[in-house]
Structure 1
């Protein structure tokens, strides 16, 4: 792995931590910029480095660094209502990156991003449902449905930004 790769992976882990602090509480799951940055990490860095950047982010938070929303950190956050969403970040970055690498253009980027978001929703919904004592219907109502329109927009925005960043930084 080149030093440039390590630097970019670290940069996206740090950007995700910053994006987590842009937080609008609307219940147990806040609106943040994390999903946008997770998708960007996969689209800009590719599947392998995108995965690595988000794994670094999750590990930083798990060991107690205050990188999660509202400057929280520690393993308890991963065990809490938002833990499934956070745990899905490396997988979502990998999927977004993998699909965009296998298909060219913004359509592949948007498709990869939407599938990545779906993975975040799935794991987040499952963890939130367990946290709510098995009430998966309520978990869907408060942890997935309010976010769908915004996250579709984030997927499209991630594709637009990634295209420009890759050209500007000469990653294509």
Structure 2
């Protein structure tokens, strides 16, 4: 039991570090950049138990809030949490909760992993888009066309990638946690 907790803690730390690295892989676009953050969130949600994945993403947000440059473009600080794209950051732990809860009940087959990640990704995009409405003084339609629609296909690609990697790593992770 003690080793299992230690292995889970180490895996959580490794995935947190991966989240920080993936945050820096960015393609600048108007208003909302395309990053590998949602890939990392999907992988974290697919590999860790639901509350562990939620906690990892909350720690990521806290690290950024206290000034560690962990967000896209090495940004950080409380100002990021009120900016036009802050909704996407707030959505990451929710993505983990949604995905993790689905996986808890559906198991971790390719189809369930893919479906759970797509639902989590869509929730993340919608939360981020809705957050932009008061911040940019735009309509819901404009927010969706700016912050959701252009990211659906890249989100699907990132979800597939996260699922493939999660399935490959799942056996290794389970073996380590069973030790």
TM class, shorter-length: over 0.9
1:17 and 1:90 map into 2 onto residues whose CA distance is: 15
Q: Can you give the 5+ residue segments of structure 1 that lack an aligned partner in the other structure? A: none
1:134 is displaced (CA, Å) by: 4.0
Cα deviations across residues 56-105 of structure 1 (Å, max 9, x unaligned)?
Answer: 11111111111110000011111111100011101101221221221131
The match for 1:35 among 35, 38, 41 is 38
1:167 aligns with 2:165: no
| Secondary structure of the structure 2 residue equivalent to 1:167 | helix
Q: Contact 2:126 / 2:144 at 8 angstroms: preserved in 1?
A: no
Looking at CA atoms only, which structure, 1 or 2, has the larger radius of gyration? 2
Q: Give the whole-Å Cα distance in 2 for the aligned partners of 1:158 and 1:48.
A: 19
- Distance (whole Å) between structure 1 residues aligned to residue 51 and residue 61 of structure 2: 15
Aligned to 2:57: 54
- Normalising by structure 2, report the TM-score: 0.90
Match of 1:18 among 14, 18, 21: 21
Residues 152-163 of structure 1: matches in 2 within 5 Å?
A: 152-163=156-167
Q: What are the Cα deviations for residues 102-124 of structure 1, in whole angstroms up to 9, with x where unaligned?
A: 11311111111011112211210
| Contact residue 26 and residue 35 of structure 2 kept, 8 A | yes
User: Which of 137, 145, 157 is 1:133 aligned to?
Assistant: 137
> Do structure 1's residue 113 and structure 2's residue 126 form an aligned pair?
no
Matches within 5 A, 1:69-148: 69-104=72-107, 105-148=109-152
Alpha-carbon contact 1:10-1:56 (below 8 Å) kept: no
- Tell me the TM-score normalised to structure 1 length: 0.93
Structure 2 portions without partners, runs of 5+: none
Bigger mean CA offset, 2-11 vs 153-162: 2-11
Count of residue pairs the alignment pairs up: 172
